[in-house]
Amino acid sequence: EAQVTQNPRYLITVTGKKLTVTCSQNMNHEYMSWYRQDPGLGLRQIYYSMNVEVTDKGDVPEGYKVSRKEKRNFPLILESPSPNQTSLYFCASRGLAGGTNEQFFGPGTRLTVL
């Protein structure tokens, strides 16, 4: 089954404790992206990657890092989480062939930073 998986699905942590949210897709997609979703602010892009070893900032990259060492994986790293990073996070992927913008989203990771 074609899918994007994220782990963990729920995480409660404390300020300053480094964490990583994993994202993996099995569709051989070139493009992967991280979004955060907050009430009243909609979906905002954090980082994206066009292919292996190619990453770029989205609209709200501060406080986050990413890496793309393999095509299927795109982890989101919070080196020193703060309470304002409490949010619902989504990973997404799409293939670049065909020119459509059909993106596949993961199930989400709900992060709470105390």
Q: In the set 48, 64, 66, 113, which binds other proteins (CB under 8 A)?
A: 48
* CA–CA separation, 21 and 33 (whole Å): 13
Residue tagged 């501060």 (tokens): 62
Cβ proximity to other proteins: between 69 and 101 the closer is: 101
Cβ proximity to other proteins: between 77 and 88 the closer is: 88
Q: What minimum distance in Å lies between the beta carbon of 101 and other proteins?
A: 4
**Under the criterion CB under 8 A, does residue 104 sit at the interface with other proteins?**
yes
* CA–CA separation, 54 and 45 (whole Å): 16
**Under the criterion CB under 8 A, does residue 5 sit at the interface with other proteins?**
no
User: Could you tell me the sign of the dihedral formed by the alpha carbons of 44, 64, 114, 110, in that order?
Assistant: positive
- The residue type of 86 is T
* CA–CA separation, 3 and 71 (whole Å): 14
Q: Which residues bind other proteins (CB under 8 A)?
A: 4, 31, 33, 35, 42-45, 48, 50, 58-59, 88, 90, 92, 94, 96, 99-108, 110
